Amino acid sequence: MAAFPKDFLWGAATAAYQVEGAHDEDGKGLSIWDVFSHLPGTTYQGTNGDVAVDHYHRMQEDVALMAEMGLQSYRFSISWPRLLPNGRGEVNEAGVKFYSDLIDALLAHNIVPMITLYHWDLPQALQDEGGWEVRSTAEAFEEYARLCYTRFGSRVKLWATFNETIVFIGHGYITGSHPPSVKDPARAIQACHQVFIAHAMAVKAFREMNIDGQIGFVNVLQPHTPLSDSPEDTVASELADAIHTHWLYDPVLKGTYPAELLAQTQALWGVPRFVPGDDELLRNYRCDFIGLNYYRRETVTANSGETLTQSNHSGEKNSGGEFGFKGLFKFVRNPNGIYTDWDWEIWPQGLTDGIMMIKERYGDIPIYITENGLGAKDPIVDGNIVDQPRIDYLRMHIDALEKAIALGADVRGYYPWSFIDLLSWLNGYKKQYGFVYVDHQQNLARKRKKSFYWYKEVINSHGNVR
């Protein structure tokens, strides 16, 4: 018998910019991604989410497919500028209606909605005022969160404030590959602080408005393994844990930053700068659950050289290069690892280990696996999408998840990424993740992949058949 608890939710996930399209329709304002993706050289072969997979117009068809697959929960994000074109103030009722209809459609099929409030598509109007570097954006986020609670709060019980701060802040302010394309670690740390404050403000509003549900935060779960047992690699791996994990999880789960690292960044760069009341906000408004996005682990070694930011966006194996911070650590290829075409290591054990690491550091916090999946170029045989590698990947990770549950972790749901093929921010449409294929040659027609039928069986048997 599988160890999945009775109420465990079998879900799938997407994000607004990656599926919706209709980027300037029905009163929607522009997001930073609508603007950034139109600048030359920013994305893989100039791909953008103007149309994406047209979920905005095909929502009912997509929900019908979810229902056919037996999905029990659907994690999606709301496009902030679709509701508030200027980031604050005037509400776009057509945008509210879209999400309201989506929620109703899901509930009509007994699919539990999980909303992510921020999956990277900041209103451009707020970026023009300073984006995440200024406190007024956190205040606007609270206004946006309150609007969502007011309009959807009686129907939605699972909420996440932010998706993967390390990615949108790290790439937005350190590597420069996401908007606003800055390369300055001090500015990154300050922007990250405003995000934590925005999160705490939204949690405070959630409590004040007595919303009947749970609110959490979604982080990347990225275990680190030292390349060798040398003291240098061990220190490098511990540093990677501190910067990539503790810095992002501690403020939302413990309500404080890791003290040693905080002292170091403040001595070095004078950031993060607190305003009076920030400490209390972080301490008093913590998460009800944590969402973990697990794809891969990183193998870590000491880095005496420069900052490295090369990665594989083409899907040509071994074209990745290295990633690391000057003088601290770098991520390198594990000589024994199995890698995807985008050079991401496939290592299911990392899901068990990562969950147990979270449990050990943060206690019995409820956990949802909010993303997990394989980005691949799916084989098509006689018109059928035979995505066996995806099935194998997911099966191994469900095994790993079961192990963590057997070891006592309170995991309440599993949301493979992604329900449907969608736009990968920097890798275009070539990198597929979905159970549902989208035919870009045939008017974006939907087709069920092999994994669609497989996951249907997993859900139907509550994880027993896989």
For binding to ligand BG6 (CB under 6 A), which residues are involved? 15, 18, 163-164, 167, 293, 371, 375, 417, 424-427, 431
Separation between Cα atoms, residue 192 and residue 336, nearest integer Å:
35
In angstroms, what is the minimal distance from the CB of 20 to ligand BG6? 13
Q: Which is nearer to ligand BG6, 164 or 378 (CB)?
A: 164
| Residues 109-126: b if buried by 16+ CB within 10 A, e if exposed | eebbbbbbbbbbbbbbbb
Cis ω before 180 (30° cut-off from 0): yes
- In the complex with ligand BG6, the residue whose CB is nearer, 226 or 375, is 375
| Omega prior to 272 cis, within 30 of 0 | yes
Catalytic hit among 20, 142, 164, 371: 371
Token digits of residue 176: 């420069």
111 closest CA partner among 159, 151, 67: 67
Which residues pair with residue 298 across a beta bridge? Answer: 224
DSSP-based three-state secondary structure for 199:
helix
- Alpha helices by DSSP H, listed for 109-230, are 124-127, 135-152, 165-170, 185-208
Q: How far apart are CA 405 and CA 5, in angstroms?
A: 9
Give the residue at shortest CB distance from ligand BG6: 424
**Nearest to ligand BG6 of 20, 371 (CB atom):** 371
State how beta strands 298-302 and 224-226 pair.
Answer: parallel
Name the token pair of 182.
């800055």
Angle 55-60-64 (CA atoms, 0-180°, nearest 5)? 110
Residue with smaller CB distance to ligand BG6, 147 or 308: 308
Tell me the Cα Rg of the chain.
Answer: 21
DSSP H/E element including 97? helix 93-108
Q: How far is the CB of 273 from ligand BG6 (least distance, A)?
A: 28
Residues 218 and 163: their CA atoms lie apart, in Å, by: 5
Helices and strands in the chain: count of H runs, count of E runs: 16, 17
**Closer residue to ligand BG6 in complex, CB, 56/285:** 56
In the residue annotation, 360 being an active-site residue is answered as no
Smallest gap from residue 287 Cβ to ligand BG6 (A)? 17
SS3 309: strand
Smallest separation, CB 110 to ligand BG6 (Å): 26
Give min distance, CB of 167 to ligand BG6, in A: 5
Which H or E run includes 363? none
Using the minimum distance from each CB to ligand BG6, give the nearer residue, 285 or 417: 417
Place of tokens 């998706």: 163
269 vs 429 by CB, closer to ligand BG6 = 429
- Which amino acid is it at 153? G
Identify which of residues 31 and 163 has a Cβ nearer to ligand BG6 in the complex.
163
User: Cβ of residue 375: shortest distance to ligand BG6, in angstroms?
Assistant: 4
Cα–Cα distance measured from residue 287 to residue 207, given in angstroms and rounded to the nearest whole number:
11
Tokens 């990770």 sit on residue: 397
**How far apart are CB 209 and ligand BG6 at their closest, in Å?**
27
The minimum distance between CB 208 and ligand BG6, in angstroms, equals 29
Q: Catalytic residues, which ones?
A: 371
